[in-house]
Amino acid sequence: MTAQLEYPDIQASDALLSVQDLWKVFGPKAQRVPRRPDLAALDRTALYAKTGCTAAVRDLSFDVAPGEVFVVMGLSGSGKSTLVRCLTRLIEPTAGRLVFEGEDLRAADEKRLRALRRSKFSMVFQHFGLLPHRKVIDNVSYGLEIRGESKPDRRRRAQEVIDLVGLAGNEHLYPEQLSGGMQQRVGLARALANDPDVLLFDEPFSALDPLIRREMQTEVVRLHREVGKTMVFITHDLSEALKLGDRILLMRDGAAVQLGTGDELVGAPADDYVRQFVRDVPRADVLTLRWIVREPRPDESLDGPELGPDVLVREATRLVLESDRPVKVVDGGTLLGVIGDEEILAVVADTN
Protein backbone atom coordinates (compact mmCIF):
# COMPACT_ATOMS: atom_id res chain seq x y z
CA MET A 1 0.00 0.00 0.00
CA THR A 2 2.81 2.36 -0.73
CA ALA A 3 1.18 5.59 -1.47
CA GLN A 4 2.90 6.77 -4.59
CA LEU A 5 1.40 3.91 -6.57
CA GLU A 6 -1.87 5.72 -6.23
CA TYR A 7 -0.39 9.16 -6.57
CA PRO A 8 2.42 8.96 -9.07
CA ASP A 9 4.48 12.10 -8.72
CA ILE A 10 7.69 13.66 -9.88
CA GLN A 11 10.13 11.39 -11.65
CA ALA A 12 12.89 10.02 -9.45
CA SER A 13 15.48 11.91 -11.45
CA ASP A 14 13.81 15.20 -10.56
CA ALA A 15 13.71 14.40 -6.85
CA LEU A 16 16.14 16.11 -4.51
CA LEU A 17 15.77 13.45 -1.88
CA SER A 18 14.45 10.02 -2.65
CA VAL A 19 13.49 7.47 -0.02
CA GLN A 20 13.00 3.90 -1.13
CA ASP A 21 11.71 0.96 0.92
CA LEU A 22 13.01 2.48 4.12
CA TRP A 23 12.81 0.45 7.35
CA LYS A 24 13.84 1.22 10.88
CA VAL A 25 13.37 -1.59 13.34
CA PHE A 26 14.36 -1.34 17.01
CA GLY A 27 15.09 -4.47 18.97
CA PRO A 28 17.20 -7.61 18.94
CA LYS A 29 18.43 -8.78 15.52
CA ALA A 30 16.46 -6.06 13.82
CA GLN A 31 17.84 -6.77 10.33
CA ARG A 32 15.82 -9.94 9.94
CA VAL A 33 12.47 -8.14 10.08
CA PRO A 34 12.62 -6.34 6.69
CA ARG A 35 14.28 -9.36 5.09
CA ARG A 36 11.68 -11.91 6.03
CA PRO A 37 8.29 -11.29 4.39
CA ASP A 38 6.49 -13.25 7.10
CA LEU A 39 7.85 -10.93 9.79
CA ALA A 40 7.49 -7.80 7.67
CA ALA A 41 3.79 -8.50 7.29
CA LEU A 42 3.09 -8.65 11.04
CA ASP A 43 1.44 -5.74 12.75
CA ARG A 44 2.96 -3.91 15.71
CA THR A 45 1.77 -6.12 18.58
CA ALA A 46 2.29 -9.39 16.74
CA LEU A 47 5.78 -8.35 15.68
CA TYR A 48 6.71 -7.41 19.22
CA ALA A 49 5.28 -10.63 20.64
CA LYS A 50 7.16 -12.73 18.13
CA THR A 51 10.53 -10.98 17.90
CA GLY A 52 10.73 -8.33 20.63
CA CYS A 53 11.23 -5.77 17.86
CA THR A 54 9.32 -2.60 17.07
CA ALA A 55 9.18 -1.26 13.52
CA ALA A 56 9.22 2.51 13.86
CA VAL A 57 9.42 3.00 10.10
CA ARG A 58 8.14 0.30 7.82
CA ASP A 59 8.67 0.13 4.11
CA LEU A 60 8.35 3.82 3.30
CA SER A 61 9.02 5.25 -0.12
CA PHE A 62 8.61 8.81 -1.27
CA ASP A 63 10.41 11.55 -3.17
CA VAL A 64 10.90 15.14 -2.12
CA ALA A 65 11.10 17.65 -4.96
CA PRO A 66 13.46 20.64 -4.87
CA GLY A 67 11.83 23.66 -3.24
CA GLU A 68 8.94 21.62 -1.92
CA VAL A 69 7.56 21.70 1.62
CA PHE A 70 7.01 18.04 2.35
CA VAL A 71 5.03 17.39 5.50
CA VAL A 72 5.08 14.10 7.40
CA MET A 73 2.12 13.84 9.70
CA GLY A 74 1.01 11.28 12.24
CA LEU A 75 0.10 10.82 15.85
CA SER A 76 2.79 10.35 18.46
CA GLY A 77 4.38 6.96 18.13
CA SER A 78 3.70 6.77 14.41
CA GLY A 79 7.42 6.86 13.64
CA LYS A 80 7.61 10.29 12.04
CA SER A 81 10.41 11.58 14.28
CA THR A 82 12.39 8.41 13.69
CA LEU A 83 11.84 8.87 9.96
CA VAL A 84 13.24 12.37 9.86
CA ARG A 85 16.30 11.24 11.84
CA CYS A 86 16.84 8.39 9.42
CA LEU A 87 17.01 10.87 6.54
CA THR A 88 20.38 12.16 7.72
CA ARG A 89 21.24 8.93 9.48
CA LEU A 90 21.15 10.45 12.94
CA ILE A 91 19.39 7.16 13.45
CA GLU A 92 20.80 4.43 11.24
CA PRO A 93 18.06 2.93 9.05
CA THR A 94 17.69 -0.84 9.12
CA ALA A 95 17.04 -1.27 5.40
CA GLY A 96 16.19 0.69 2.26
CA ARG A 97 17.79 3.35 0.11
CA LEU A 98 18.29 7.06 0.65
CA VAL A 99 19.30 9.02 -2.43
CA PHE A 100 20.20 12.68 -2.19
CA GLU A 101 21.14 14.55 -5.37
CA GLY A 102 21.91 11.20 -6.96
CA GLU A 103 24.20 10.13 -4.12
CA ASP A 104 23.48 7.05 -2.04
CA LEU A 105 23.42 8.36 1.52
CA ARG A 106 23.53 4.96 3.09
CA ALA A 107 26.87 4.26 1.41
CA ALA A 108 28.40 7.48 2.74
CA ASP A 109 31.11 6.99 5.36
CA GLU A 110 31.28 8.92 8.62
CA LYS A 111 33.36 11.69 7.10
CA ARG A 112 31.19 12.21 4.04
CA LEU A 113 28.11 12.14 6.23
CA ARG A 114 29.55 14.87 8.42
CA ALA A 115 30.36 16.93 5.36
CA LEU A 116 26.76 16.55 4.14
CA ARG A 117 25.36 17.50 7.53
CA ARG A 118 27.62 20.52 7.62
CA SER A 119 26.52 21.92 4.29
CA LYS A 120 23.45 20.18 2.87
CA PHE A 121 21.07 19.39 5.72
CA SER A 122 19.98 21.23 8.82
CA MET A 123 17.50 20.28 11.46
CA VAL A 124 15.19 22.16 13.80
CA PHE A 125 14.17 20.31 16.96
CA GLN A 126 11.00 20.11 19.00
CA HIS A 127 12.66 21.18 22.24
CA PHE A 128 15.06 23.46 20.39
CA GLY A 129 18.25 21.58 21.39
CA LEU A 130 20.06 24.83 22.07
CA LEU A 131 23.32 25.02 23.97
CA PRO A 132 22.54 26.84 27.23
CA HIS A 133 26.15 27.83 27.85
CA ARG A 134 26.41 29.81 24.61
CA LYS A 135 24.98 33.17 23.70
CA VAL A 136 22.41 33.39 20.91
CA ILE A 137 25.00 34.41 18.36
CA ASP A 138 27.33 31.58 19.39
CA ASN A 139 24.47 29.11 19.17
CA VAL A 140 23.67 30.32 15.68
CA SER A 141 27.27 30.16 14.54
CA TYR A 142 27.91 26.73 16.09
CA GLY A 143 27.54 24.95 12.75
CA LEU A 144 29.94 27.37 11.11
CA GLU A 145 32.40 27.03 13.96
CA ILE A 146 32.63 23.27 13.73
CA ARG A 147 33.26 23.38 10.01
CA GLY A 148 36.18 25.63 10.74
CA GLU A 149 35.15 29.05 9.46
CA SER A 150 36.99 32.08 10.74
CA LYS A 151 35.45 34.11 13.52
CA PRO A 152 34.69 37.29 11.49
CA ASP A 153 33.09 35.18 8.72
CA ARG A 154 30.83 33.30 11.06
CA ARG A 155 29.90 36.40 13.01
CA ARG A 156 28.84 38.10 9.78
CA ARG A 157 26.85 35.12 8.55
CA ALA A 158 25.26 34.56 11.97
CA GLN A 159 24.21 38.20 12.08
CA GLU A 160 22.57 37.84 8.66
CA VAL A 161 20.39 34.93 9.70
CA ILE A 162 19.64 36.45 13.07
CA ASP A 163 18.24 39.47 11.22
CA LEU A 164 16.42 37.16 8.82
CA VAL A 165 14.52 35.32 11.55
CA GLY A 166 13.74 38.49 13.50
CA LEU A 167 16.11 38.02 16.40
CA ALA A 168 18.08 41.23 15.95
CA GLY A 169 18.99 42.82 19.28
CA ASN A 170 19.10 39.53 21.17
CA GLU A 171 22.48 38.33 19.93
CA HIS A 172 24.19 38.53 23.28
CA LEU A 173 21.50 36.99 25.44
CA TYR A 174 21.59 33.40 26.63
CA PRO A 175 18.86 30.98 25.50
CA GLU A 176 17.35 30.76 29.00
CA GLN A 177 16.67 34.50 28.84
CA LEU A 178 14.41 34.08 25.79
CA SER A 179 10.80 32.97 25.51
CA GLY A 180 9.99 29.63 23.87
CA GLY A 181 9.11 31.23 20.54
CA MET A 182 12.31 33.25 20.50
CA GLN A 183 14.33 30.16 21.41
CA GLN A 184 12.90 28.35 18.42
CA ARG A 185 13.86 31.29 16.25
CA VAL A 186 17.41 30.67 17.44
CA GLY A 187 17.00 27.02 16.45
CA LEU A 188 15.75 28.15 13.06
CA ALA A 189 18.60 30.62 12.62
CA ARG A 190 21.12 27.96 13.54
CA ALA A 191 19.65 25.65 10.92
CA LEU A 192 19.72 28.40 8.27
CA ALA A 193 23.22 29.60 9.12
CA ASN A 194 25.14 27.00 7.19
CA ASP A 195 22.94 27.57 4.13
CA PRO A 196 21.66 24.01 3.71
CA ASP A 197 19.78 22.61 0.72
CA VAL A 198 17.26 20.80 2.89
CA LEU A 199 15.76 21.95 6.18
CA LEU A 200 14.35 19.23 8.42
CA PHE A 201 11.82 20.24 11.05
CA ASP A 202 10.96 17.81 13.83
CA GLU A 203 7.69 19.07 15.34
CA PRO A 204 9.35 22.44 15.81
CA PHE A 205 6.32 24.30 17.13
CA SER A 206 4.49 21.74 19.25
CA ALA A 207 6.20 22.94 22.43
CA LEU A 208 4.96 26.49 21.82
CA ASP A 209 1.65 28.00 22.82
CA PRO A 210 -0.98 28.39 20.07
CA LEU A 211 -0.54 32.09 19.32
CA ILE A 212 3.23 31.85 19.04
CA ARG A 213 2.81 28.68 17.03
CA ARG A 214 0.70 30.47 14.43
CA GLU A 215 3.21 33.30 14.28
CA MET A 216 6.06 30.85 13.75
CA GLN A 217 4.14 29.01 11.04
CA THR A 218 3.69 32.28 9.20
CA GLU A 219 7.39 32.87 9.69
CA VAL A 220 8.22 29.55 8.05
CA VAL A 221 5.92 30.34 5.12
CA ARG A 222 7.69 33.68 4.75
CA LEU A 223 11.14 32.12 4.96
CA HIS A 224 10.20 29.50 2.43
CA ARG A 225 9.11 32.24 0.08
CA GLU A 226 12.30 34.25 0.69
CA VAL A 227 15.01 31.60 0.72
CA GLY A 228 13.19 28.86 -1.19
CA LYS A 229 14.71 25.93 0.69
CA THR A 230 13.40 22.42 0.43
CA MET A 231 11.75 21.52 3.69
CA VAL A 232 10.75 18.28 5.33
CA PHE A 233 8.36 19.15 8.12
CA ILE A 234 7.21 16.76 10.82
CA THR A 235 4.03 17.56 12.71
CA HIS A 236 1.11 15.96 14.48
CA ASP A 237 -1.06 18.98 13.86
CA LEU A 238 -3.28 18.65 10.79
CA SER A 239 -3.98 22.36 10.44
CA GLU A 240 -0.23 23.03 10.51
CA ALA A 241 0.28 20.35 7.87
CA LEU A 242 -2.42 21.83 5.67
CA LYS A 243 -1.11 25.34 6.12
CA LEU A 244 2.51 24.58 5.28
CA GLY A 245 2.60 21.45 3.20
CA ASP A 246 2.77 21.24 -0.57
CA ARG A 247 2.30 17.53 -0.05
CA ILE A 248 1.51 15.56 3.08
CA LEU A 249 2.51 12.03 4.01
CA LEU A 250 0.22 10.57 6.64
CA MET A 251 1.84 7.84 8.74
CA ARG A 252 0.42 5.27 11.09
CA ASP A 253 2.43 2.69 13.03
CA GLY A 254 5.48 3.42 10.91
CA ALA A 255 3.78 2.86 7.57
CA ALA A 256 2.44 5.30 5.00
CA VAL A 257 -1.34 5.62 4.95
CA GLN A 258 -1.70 8.28 2.30
CA LEU A 259 0.50 10.68 0.37
CA GLY A 260 -0.99 13.66 -1.35
CA THR A 261 -1.77 17.36 -1.28
CA GLY A 262 -3.89 18.73 1.52
CA ASP A 263 -7.06 18.83 -0.55
CA GLU A 264 -6.46 15.27 -1.73
CA LEU A 265 -6.32 14.08 1.88
CA VAL A 266 -9.52 15.92 2.73
CA GLY A 267 -11.34 15.32 -0.53
CA ALA A 268 -10.34 11.71 -1.15
CA PRO A 269 -9.30 10.02 2.11
CA ALA A 270 -7.60 6.71 1.36
CA ASP A 271 -9.28 4.87 4.23
CA ASP A 272 -11.29 5.31 7.40
CA TYR A 273 -8.21 6.25 9.41
CA VAL A 274 -7.52 9.23 7.17
CA ARG A 275 -11.23 10.08 7.14
CA GLN A 276 -11.25 10.17 10.95
CA PHE A 277 -8.11 12.23 10.88
CA VAL A 278 -9.44 14.94 8.58
CA ARG A 279 -13.00 14.90 9.90
CA ASP A 280 -12.81 18.12 11.86
CA VAL A 281 -11.06 20.11 9.18
CA PRO A 282 -13.18 23.03 7.85
CA ARG A 283 -13.41 21.56 4.38
CA ALA A 284 -14.34 24.79 2.70
CA ASP A 285 -10.90 26.15 3.60
CA VAL A 286 -9.08 23.21 2.09
CA LEU A 287 -11.07 21.87 -0.82
CA THR A 288 -10.94 23.55 -4.21
CA LEU A 289 -13.68 23.68 -6.77
CA ARG A 290 -12.01 20.80 -8.60
CA TRP A 291 -13.27 18.48 -5.85
CA ILE A 292 -16.96 19.35 -6.14
CA VAL A 293 -17.63 19.92 -9.85
CA ARG A 294 -20.29 17.83 -11.47
CA GLU A 295 -21.43 17.20 -15.00
CA PRO A 296 -23.87 19.86 -16.08
CA ARG A 297 -27.44 18.57 -16.25
CA PRO A 298 -29.05 18.76 -19.72
CA ASP A 299 -31.52 21.40 -18.65
CA GLU A 300 -28.91 23.77 -17.19
CA SER A 301 -27.79 26.84 -19.00
CA LEU A 302 -24.02 27.16 -19.33
CA ASP A 303 -23.76 30.93 -19.40
CA GLY A 304 -23.00 31.43 -15.71
CA PRO A 305 -19.80 33.01 -14.33
CA GLU A 306 -16.51 31.18 -14.77
CA LEU A 307 -13.99 30.18 -12.06
CA GLY A 308 -10.70 28.27 -12.08
CA PRO A 309 -10.50 24.75 -10.59
CA ASP A 310 -7.97 25.74 -7.89
CA VAL A 311 -10.19 28.35 -6.26
CA LEU A 312 -11.01 27.42 -2.64
CA VAL A 313 -14.63 26.59 -1.94
CA ARG A 314 -14.72 29.25 0.77
CA GLU A 315 -13.69 31.90 -1.74
CA ALA A 316 -16.26 30.81 -4.33
CA THR A 317 -19.19 30.56 -1.93
CA ARG A 318 -20.51 34.08 -2.25
CA LEU A 319 -20.30 34.13 -6.03
CA VAL A 320 -22.01 30.77 -6.45
CA LEU A 321 -24.82 31.54 -4.02
CA GLU A 322 -25.46 34.97 -5.52
CA SER A 323 -25.49 33.70 -9.10
CA ASP A 324 -28.86 32.36 -10.26
CA ARG A 325 -27.19 30.03 -12.73
CA PRO A 326 -24.56 27.31 -11.97
CA VAL A 327 -20.97 28.51 -11.98
CA LYS A 328 -18.74 26.99 -14.65
CA VAL A 329 -15.35 25.60 -13.62
CA VAL A 330 -12.93 26.12 -16.45
CA ASP A 331 -9.32 24.95 -16.61
CA GLY A 332 -7.36 26.50 -19.49
CA GLY A 333 -10.37 26.77 -21.75
CA THR A 334 -11.79 23.27 -21.04
CA LEU A 335 -14.98 23.03 -19.14
CA LEU A 336 -14.54 20.70 -16.16
CA GLY A 337 -18.12 20.97 -15.00
CA VAL A 338 -20.44 23.18 -13.06
CA ILE A 339 -21.17 24.00 -9.44
CA GLY A 340 -24.54 24.88 -8.02
CA ASP A 341 -25.82 25.98 -4.62
CA GLU A 342 -26.25 22.45 -3.25
CA GLU A 343 -22.61 21.45 -3.94
CA ILE A 344 -21.34 24.55 -2.20
CA LEU A 345 -23.68 24.17 0.73
CA ALA A 346 -22.76 20.50 1.18
CA VAL A 347 -19.17 21.54 1.78
CA VAL A 348 -19.78 24.71 3.76
CA ALA A 349 -22.36 23.11 6.02
CA ASP A 350 -20.00 20.14 6.30
CA THR A 351 -22.54 17.36 6.01
CA ASN A 352 -19.77 14.85 5.59
Partner 1 sequence: MASITGSVEIEVRRPRRSVVVGVLLVAWVALYFVLRGIDTLVLGGQETTALHRWLTEHRDDVGQGNVFFDAIRIAVDHFVVLLQDLISQPSFDRPVPAIGWLGVIAISAYCAWAFGNWKVAVLTAAGLGFVGLQGLWQESMDTLSLTIAAVLLSLLVAIPLGIWAGLSDRAFKVATLVLDLMQTLPTFVYLAPLTLFFAIGPAAATIATLIYAAPPAVRLTAHAIRSVPPESVEAARSLGSTRGQTLTKVLLPMSRSTVVVGINQTIMAALSMVTVAALIDAPGLGQTVLKALQTLDVGVAFNAGLAIVVIAIVLDRVTTAAGDRPWRTANRRRRLLLAAGAVAVLVAVWFSRTYVWAAEFPSTVNVGSRIAVIASDVTDWVQNVFGGFTYGVRDAVTNGLLNPLEGLLTGSPWWLVTVVVVALAFVLGGWRGAVPAAVCLGLLVATGVWQDSMVTLASTLLATVVVVAVGLALGVWAGRNRRVDTWIRPVLDAGQTMPPFVYLVPFLALFGTSRFTAIAAAVVFAVPVTTKIVADGIRAVPVATVEAANSVGSSSWQVISKVQLPVARRAITLAVNQGLIYVLSMVVVGGLVGAGALGYDVAAGFAQSELYGKGLAAGLAIVLLGVMLDRITQAAARRTENFTTRGDKR
Residues in the site for partner 1, rule: CB under 8 A? Answer: 85, 88, 90, 113-119, 121-123, 125-134, 142-143, 145-147, 174, 187, 190, 194, 200
Chain centre to alpha carbon of residue 109: 28
> Least separation, in Å, of the C-beta of 31 and partner 1?
21
Chain centre to alpha carbon of residue 10: 16
- H helices of the chain, where? 32-35, 37-40, 44-51, 80-87, 110-119, 136-140, 142-146, 151-164, 180-193, 210-227, 238-244, 262-267, 272-278, 283-286, 313-322, 341-348
Closest CA to 259 of 65, 34, 24: 65
Residues forming a β-bridge with 60 = 22
Chain centre to alpha carbon of residue 258: 13
> Least separation, in Å, of the C-beta of 109 and partner 1?
13
Q: Which is nearer to partner 1, 112 or 156 (CB)?
A: 112
Q: Which is nearer to partner 1, 100 or 142 (CB)?
A: 142
CB burial readout 22-50, b (16+ within 10 A) else e: bbbbeeeebeebbeeeebbebebeebeee
> Least separation, in Å, of the C-beta of 349 and partner 1?
44
Q: Which is nearer to partner 1, 8 or 148 (CB)?
A: 148
Closest CA to 13 of 121, 102, 120: 102
> Least separation, in Å, of the C-beta of 64 and partner 1?
17
Q: Which is nearer to partner 1, 177 or 301 (CB)?
A: 177
| Parallel, antiparallel or unpaired: strands 334-339 and 327-331 | antiparallel
> Least separation, in Å, of the C-beta of 162 and partner 1?
16
Q: Which is nearer to partner 1, 111 or 225 (CB)?
A: 111
Q: Which is nearer to partner 1, 122 or 217 (CB)?
A: 122
Integer Cα distance of 175 and 169 in angstroms: 13
> Least separation, in Å, of the C-beta of 232 and partner 1?
13
> Least separation, in Å, of the C-beta of 129 and partner 1?
3
Q: Which is nearer to partner 1, 202 or 263 (CB)?
A: 202
3-state secondary structure of 175: helix
